[in-house]
């Protein structure tokens, strides 16, 4: 197991301190920072991610998106499929957070982290072809990939290329976005199907990398 026992003991104290009323912003961030120690084991202290264990960068994602995804993992709407190895690693971490209060606090903290630089890891993508493929994506993610909260679409500006490819594949085969309770995933899934093969996915990802 990747998580050290003393860390879990320290976390238990923070987890138990959840109050009924929503804490003030500064308190919430402080609690979120303490809870983030667990997340840092995989996503790194700055939220830069760790491709070796398929943990994506999460710094640069807005709090509303982080919160929504952690709920999905906790509730088995994402990361519960037996073939979703990376999702299955994330899911128990969301369950450790247990309450909405804790999830809001840790999401607020992640949302406060400055974006990290991500090196390109994929080869063979053609950004020119990708630009054409990205045209329909602008409806939700925006022409600059900045995202749109009203449509639940996250920013793609700080997302790692390898992670985008893996998620497009998961949406397409139904490892993500296929759960009937996943209302926002349902918006994205048909879009992954417009990308006919892995080459098309690499092309669109190569273009998205130019939007940073």
Residues at the contact surface with ligand HEC, assessed by CB under 6 A: 2, 38-39, 41-43, 54-56, 58, 61, 66, 68-70, 79, 86-87, 89-90, 93, 97, 106, 110, 136-137, 139-141, 151-154, 156, 159, 164, 166-168, 184-185, 187-188, 191, 194-195, 204
- Other residues' Cβ atoms within 10 Å of the Cβ of residue 55: 22
User: Any residues with CB less than 8 A from the CB of 175 and at least 6 apart, and which?
Assistant: 81, 83, 84, 87, 169
CB of 44 to ligand HEC, least distance (A): 10
Do the beta carbons of residue 114 and residue 158 sit within 8 Å? no
CB of 68 to ligand HEC, least distance (A): 6
Task: State CA 43 to chain mean position distance.
Answer: 10
Of the pair 66, 206, the CB lying nearest ligand HEC is at 66
Of the pair 86, 122, the CB lying nearest ligand HEC is at 86
**Tokens 């509730």 found at:** 75
CB of 96 to ligand HEC, least distance (A): 7
CA distance 40 to 19: 24
CB of 156 to ligand HEC, least distance (A): 6
């Amino acid at each position: 197991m990747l998580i050290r026992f003393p860390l879990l003991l320290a976390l238990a104290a923070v987890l138990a301190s959840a109050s009924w009323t929503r804490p003030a912003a500064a308190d919430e961030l402080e609690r979120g920072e303490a809870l983030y120690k667990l997340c840092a084991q995989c996503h790194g202290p700055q939220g830069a991610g760790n491709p070796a264990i398929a943990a994506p960068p999460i710094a640069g994602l807005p709090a509303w998106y982080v919160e929504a995804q952690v709920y999905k993992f906790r509730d088995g709407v994402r990361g519960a499929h037996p073939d979703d190895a990376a999702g299955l690693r994330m899911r128990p971490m969301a369950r450790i957070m247990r309450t909405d209060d804790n999830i809001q606090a840790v999401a607020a903290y992640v949302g406060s982290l400055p974006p990290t630089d991500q090196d390109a890891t994929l080869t063979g993508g053609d950004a020119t072809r990708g630009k054409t493929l990205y045209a329909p994506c602008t409806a939700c993610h925006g022409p600059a990939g900045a995202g749109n909260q009203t449509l639940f679409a996250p920013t793609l500006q700080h997302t790692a290329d390898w992670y985008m490819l893996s998620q497009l594949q998961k949406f397409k085969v139904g490892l993500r976005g296929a759960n009937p309770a996943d209302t926002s995933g349902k918006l994205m899934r048909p879009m992954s199907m417009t990308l006919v093969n892995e080459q098309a996915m690499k092309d669109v990802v190569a273009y998205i990398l130019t939007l940073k």
